[in-house]
Amino acid sequence: MSHNETVSSSSITRGSRYLNPEKFSTDPSTPGAELQWSHWLHTFQNFISEEISNASPDLKLKLLINYLAPGVFAIIKGCASYDEAIELLKKSYEKPRNRILARHILSTRQQKPEESIRDYVRALKLLAQDCDFHAVTAEQNQNDFMCIAFISGINSQRIRQRLLENLTLSFDDAQNQALTLETAEKSLHSFSISSNPTSLLNAIPVQPEQEKEVDDNLAAVNFGHKKRRCFFAVVMYINV
């Protein structure tokens, strides 16, 4: 063991009761795993920076392994360095953020019944954390705002859902995708009508004169049926 590792080990012993992190055992598929990972990583990095600031990369990797449960250790089992292991864990726990969806949720979030103003503000601040806000030009800021307003105001729920699937989206791209989806919807509707004769007939407007002619023809047919039924009834009566 090197001198640095010896010094570091003694430092850990003296201060571990204050910053010693718990063993991390959360599975990546567990609900809320990203938040738990983020919190644990901060505690572990505090532990590293305060207690063993001079630790070698090899010692950091050993400590990381020591503070991971077997199920989590399996993720980094093949890693040869501390940085590689941390990067792989981040990819496993930190999912790509959908900035467009996050901003849509923030812009449409309304105060709930019985929710105080203070709680409403707190909820908005939490939602804003996922929106990836950063310093941009006035033109980019306008573009982003118009994009969110455009998506929120679209009548088609299907088109809105498809646009919100994009992780990032400019106003121009939103317009182009929406137009393409709208054209596809109209084409699909036209094809559905043309392939269904009943739907096609229902889609053709009928003039009042035509409606009257159809009604008269139906009445004549019904009257003819009634006359035949009456004639057969009289014959049967006479025979009796």
pLDDT digits (tens, 9 = 90+) for 188-214: 877 776 666 555 455 555 555 555 554
The two three-digit tokens of residue 83, written as one number: 């940085």
- Structure tokens given for 179: 């137009």
pTM of the model: 0.53
What is the band of 158 on the pLDDT scale with cuts at 50, 70, 90? Answer: very high
Q: What is the pLDDT of residues 38-51, one digit of tens each?
A: 999 999 988 888 76
Please give the Cα distance from 40 to 67 (Å, whole number).
10
| pLDDT given for residue 194 in this prediction | 66
Cβ partners under 8 Å of residue 99, min gap 6 = 130, 131, 132, 167, 168
Coil, strand, or helix at residue 68?
Answer: strand
Mean pLDDT to the nearest integer, 219-227:
51
CA distance 50 to 63: 14
pLDDT at 48 (0 to 100): 84
pLDDT of residue 195: 66
Q: What residue ranges do the domains of the chain occupy?
A: 3-93, 99-194, 207-239
Q: Which tokens belong to 32?
A: 């809320």
Mean pLDDT of 66-82: 94
The angle formed by the CA atoms of residues 75, 77 and 81, to the nearest 5 degrees, is 105
pLDDT at 53: 64
Structure tokens at 121: 């503000």
Give the number of residues written for the chain.
240
The pLDDT of residue 207: 53
Q: Percent of the chain beyond pLDDT 70? A: 71
